[in-house]
Structure 1
Amino acid sequence: MFKKKLSKPLKYGLALLAALGIGLWLTPKPAQAAALDQPVVTLGTTLTQDQQQGTISTLTKNLNDTSNYKTITVTGATLVKYLNPSGSSFSNGSSVWSSAAVEKTSSGSGINVTILNYNGKNNITTITADQYKNAALTAGVSDANIYVTSAVPIDGSGALAGVYAAFDQSGNGLNQQQINAAQDELGTLSDINQANKGKDGYSDAQLNNAVTGAKSDMAKAGTNVSVGQITTIVNNQLTKNNIQNVINNNQKQQIINLLVKVRDSGALNSSNFKAQAQKLSDSIVADAKNIFNKFNTQENRNFFQKIWDNVVNFFHSIFG
């Protein structure tokens, strides 16, 4: 069969296009912020019919659109799918009570989490609103309102698994590596919070703001931020949030380890991550003004500024 020879210019052109195509194919795509087309209400599979109705009523009353939402059921299999890869030991038969509603908000509004009382009582016994916020940030959630409740006292894991499932079933699935990092973070911060609860000069808000601030600083440093840089960032943020004398060395190392996992999960690849982290920090501080105002004096601000200046100089010395 006759084959027409290609001219040299055409050969070179095709070769260049092929090379560009391969290059584009091999170049990692920036992580995209997950989004929802409509609000989603997640219901624990163990809820009775009455509890389901009470949960829906509790979760939907604050939605921007109280009529246009869809519901999904969170089962033991949902927990296995999203939470077991990070070390949890749920089974397909596990009970699920905690539930959530999640809706997309305007760009730049950040991640907002509200734990709602069920029949006048907060039944989420372990996970705090700030811990939900930090986990959602790491998992890749962006600009969303999340409402959480439970008809019975429970830790609240099912609600977060429901949020992950809501994005998945909407065709905007979250990265499993980021979910794993988020779950590791959630467990670590919950344990540290429980260990320090009631100590003078400590609050969950300070701990979560330190971790959020660390994420923001890591994003500024870049996706290749080193363990040494992360350690410096953590030390700075613990001091900035006035808990450097409360968090012991073992707990500090746990925070460093979880932030390394956040880095390795690819969360920092998102161009939106830094802005979301800053917005989250602002909301944590705003929600706990009475705590942060106690140590946010001019003297402390000068002290923290000196520390921050040292961190900035440290990065400049590395990156030129």
Structure 2
Amino acid sequence: MKKILTTLVAILSSGILGLSVITNTKTAKADDNDTPVVTLGTSLTASQKQGTIDTLTQSLNGANYTTITITGSDLVKYLNPSGYDFTDNSGVWSSAMVQKTSSGSGINVHILPYNGHNNITTITANQYKNAALTAGISDADIYVTSATPIDGSGALAGVYAAYAKNGDSLNQKQINAAQTEMNTLSKITSQNKGKDGYSDAQLNNAVAGAKKEMAKQGQNISDSQVRDIVNNQININHLGDTITNNQKEQIINVLIKVKNSGALKDKNFQQQASQLTDQIQSGAKNIFSKFNTPETRNWFQKLIDSIVSWFRGIFGGAIILN
């Protein structure tokens, strides 16, 4: 009976917040020779370019790096297919550095202040991480900054260009899905700013968790399965009564687009998504630690408790799971 109960609890617990499934496969890297790539917006003045380089390369401690300039043409190439209306003459200020890291380290994003000011006004680090995952990026440190206040939506265009420069061009369908995702999550966070029970970390954790569960099902997962997974993740992250039904539909549509982009074909996608949920939860422990208290447990956890209590009532005494 102990084995039956253990198996049952294990099955039910598979959807609980924080469970990680790790695989060991490899996907696109930023630079095969490990040299970090700094992307500089073409609109920066000479002084701003140097300031941007100094800001982005602080962690290198004098190590080598290469630079590329991002122009309006790059924005047109990488961002317009997802609904933007940039032109070849569009200005570019937000800049980035992408650095290859060891296999299994996940995607890490650092938004850096420029001269003491955080000039990325809209996009959060977690939104960048989720978008990078969808785009097919794996195991990389990404640093983002801007010399002038800007939403930061164009920063990943530089990252995409950096990958292309080193022979690891990313799938345009995945890039389109990534940019749509980043725009959608950014708008939802803006619409819920200051709302009790809402945080950008919860939203991005729900999206990353959904990606992980979708990857378990494989690329042939149906739209209805995606819908069920997203709704479950929204509830697990305690957003079911916080965000609107319209916002839920937007998230579902984004994840269906991620599925249709081919992202799930990447065998490393599940691992990277799992690591992303771990990162998000670790970075917002003050939020996620509350989810495991008796007062805030979701219905899934309560169901497990009730099953355990039922078996205890039948057999009497404590049941030990190991």
TM-score by length of 1: 0.84
Structure 1 gaps of 5+ residues are 1-29, 310-320
How far apart, CA to CA, are the structure 1 residues paired with 2:41 and 2:137? 21
Instruction: Give the match for residue 57 of structure 2.
Output: 60
Identity %: 67
Instruction: Give the match for residue 231 of structure 1.
Output: 227
Instruction: Give the match for residue 196 of structure 1.
Output: 192
Tell me: CA distance 1:152–1:286, structure 2 relative to 1, closer, same or farther (3 Å): same
Q: 1:190-243: per-residue Cα shift (whole Å, max 9, x none)?
A: 111111111001000100000000000000111111111111111111111111
Tell me: CA distance 1:306–1:215, structure 2 relative to 1, closer, same or farther (3 Å): farther
Contact 1:239–1:304 (CA under 8 A) maintained in structure 2: no
Match of 1:76 among 72, 75, 78: 72
Q: Matches of residues 1-320 of structure 1 in structure 2 within 5 Å?
A: 32-37=27-32, 38-63=35-60, 66-298=62-294, 300-301=296-297, 303-305=299-301
How far apart, CA to CA, are the structure 1 residues paired with 2:112 and 2:303? 38
Structure 2 gaps of 5+ residues are 1-24, 306-322
How far apart, CA to CA, are the structure 2 residues paired with 1:154 and 1:280? 25
Q: 1:145-173: per-residue Cα shift (whole Å, max 9, x none)?
A: 00000000001122110000000011111
Q: 1:72-99: per-residue Cα shift (whole Å, max 9, x none)?
A: 0011011000000111000111111100
The one-letter code matched in structure 2 to 1:172 is: D
The one-letter code matched in structure 1 to 2:236 is: K
Contact 2:209–2:274 (CA under 8 A) maintained in structure 1: yes
SS of 1:113 mapped into structure 2: strand
How many residues in Structure 1 have an aligned counterpart in Structure 2? Answer: 279
Q: Greater relative contact order (Cα 8 A, min sep 6): structure 1 or 2?
A: 2
Bigger helix fraction: 1
How far apart, CA to CA, are the structure 2 residues paired with 1:36 and 1:307? 47
> Which consecutive aligned stretches of 4+ in structure 1 deviate over 4 angstroms post-superposition?
298-302, 306-309
TM-score by length of 2: 0.83
RMSD: 1.8
**1:33: how far off?**
3.0
**1:247: how far off?**
1.4
SS of 2:79 mapped into structure 1: helix
